[in-house]
Amino acid sequence: MIFETHVHFDDEAFDEDRDEIISSLKENNIDKIVNVGASMQSTRSSYELINKFKDFYMAAGVHPNEVLDLTEKDMDELREISKHEKVVAIGEIGLEYHYLEPDKEIQKKWFLRQLDLAVELNLPVIIHSRDAALETFEIMKAYHGKIKGAIIHCYSYSKELAREYINMGYLIGVGGVVTFKNAKKLVETVEEIPIENIVVETDAPYMSPEPLRGRRNSSLNLKYIIKKIAELKGLSEEEVENKTYENAMKFFDIKA
């Protein structure tokens, strides 16, 4: 069985066939799904999905590109949503310095605010970090011991930094990028780190793996990611499926 740890089924890209795709996941060996909030609206939409589908969970949170108009009232709403038993993390939260909108200080303010919310609610976090390696790491280091756990989503940094995260007990999210020909750093990271520290994710509808790059992604494409990880680590695909499933169940504290 496969555990999809990061998808955006609330996205408008799925408006025409959302229910059909979600209903087909079980027959394709995808047992559990975490739909990840990226804005207040997507968090609300994700909340509707967890109440509609079995084995469908969510993370509540606001992506760094969406924090400009955030308010404390929004934090109160996030807190209330996150009390639902199927809300298993705060995310995706973090720093996005590739597109500096809003500016660094505003991003950092709401990253820290959402980390504090996760500490308060004793929930793990799903971290978005792009072109912000050092600052993200320093913040996550400061929260080590306070935060229940973290997945560094769509990991794109060095194997050395991955090792530092692993030493703090954090997990590395591996998605479609691992199948790209130019994914040297991620390939090295996957080769280097233990399978016990890896979870699989699609980030659908974004980041389609080869050979589907450029098309809309979905959780049905996890098989390509699993195949590549198995190849890099000298494991069977079944071993990768089972171990990453086990890692995610433990991380999100979901009972079988």
Sheet with 30-36, strands from edge to edge, namely 2-7, 30-36, 56-60, 87-96, 125-130, 150-152, 171-174, 198-200
Q: Decide if 38 is inside a domain.
A: yes
Distance, CA of 14 to CA of 36 (rounded, Å): 14
Evaluated on CA atoms 67, 6, 171, 154, the torsion sign reads: negative
Is 4:38 a contact under the CB 8 Å cutoff? no
C-alpha closest to that of 244 among 204, 196, 186, 209: 196
Q: Decide if 206 is inside a domain.
A: yes
Q: Decide if 26 is inside a domain.
A: yes
Whether the pTM exceeds 0.85: the reply is: yes
Q: Decide if 148 is inside a domain.
A: yes
Q: Decide if 256 is inside a domain.
A: no
> Per the structure, how many domains does the chain have?
1
Distance, CA of 188 to CA of 162 (rounded, Å): 10
Is 143:113 a contact under the CB 8 Å cutoff? no
Give residue 244's domain range.
Answer: 2-251
Q: Decide if 94 is inside a domain.
A: yes
Strands of 133-214, DSSP E: 150-152, 171-174, 198-200
Q: Decide if 221 is inside a domain.
A: yes
We report the CATH number of the domain holding residue 191 as 3.20.20.140
Tokens of 67: 């924090």
Distance, CA of 132 to CA of 27 (rounded, Å): 39
What is the DSSP secondary structure assignment for residue 204, as one 8-state letter? B
- Kindly list the averaged pLDDT for each block of 10 residues, start to end, along the chain of length 256: 99 97 97 98 98 97 97 98 98 94 95 99 98 98 98 98 98 98 97 98 98 96 98 98 99 92
Q: Decide if 49 is inside a domain.
A: yes
Counting every residue, how long is the chain? 256
pLDDT score for 99:
86
- Which residues fall within 8 angstroms of residue 127, CB to CB, at 6 or more apart? 91, 92, 93, 94, 136, 140, 150, 151, 152, 153
Is 19:213 a contact under the CB 8 Å cutoff? no
Task: Give how far the C-alpha of residue 89 lies from the chain's centroid of Cα atoms, to the nearest Å.
Answer: 10
pLDDT score for 192:
96
The residue type found at 93 is I
Distance, CA of 147 to CA of 125 (rounded, Å): 8
pLDDT score for 101:
83
